Amino acid sequence: MAAQKGKDLLIKMHDGTGFVTVAGLRSRRIAFNAETVDITHAESAGRWRELLDGAGIKRAGISGRGLFKDAATDALMRQTFFDGAVKNCQVVIPDFGTVEGAFQITNLEFAGEHNGEVTYELALESAGALSFASS
């Protein structure tokens, strides 16, 4: 696989009629995590840790930061956060595929320097099973 442009990694949120790209993001990230369940006991071979296959909780986190550019998606994110709503989201990963599922905005931050633009940071956590479709 050849190198990909970071701007092609997209975060999309369902607005009730379809998926819209969260506008103005300069950086985006998705992270997958799985907790482990330690089942090590006194008779574990060589006292090496043993893990229970498939028992941990899986989750995904999405984050991004950027600047305000599109009033419609800004309003969608803001209202979703204040409502505490769970929304269907997609992360489009170039030449890899699309991850889709329910997410909740867990962090929404605003910042601004005296001689610069207002920026925001966004964090979402998965709220159910995710699907993956390869491209």
CATH number of the domain residue 69 falls in? 4.10.410
- How many domains is the chain built from? 1
Q: Distance between CA 95 and CA 81 in Å, rounded?
A: 31
pLDDT at 73 over 90: no
Task: Sort strands 10-14 and 86-93 into parallel, antiparallel or unpaired.
Answer: antiparallel
pLDDT at 113 over 70: yes
* 79-106 tens-digit pLDDT: 999 999 999 999 999 889 999 999 999 9
Q: What is the pLDDT of residue 71?
A: 86
* 13-52 tens-digit pLDDT: 999 999 999 988 899 999 999 999 999 999 999 999 999 9
Structure tokens given for 81: 């956060």
Instruction: Examine residue 1 and state whether it is found in any structural domain, yes or no.
Output: no
pTM: 0.86
| Domain span holding position 97 | 6-134
Report yes or no: 89 and 42 within 8 Å, Cβ to Cβ.
no
Q: Distance between CA 24 and CA 103 in Å, rounded?
A: 20
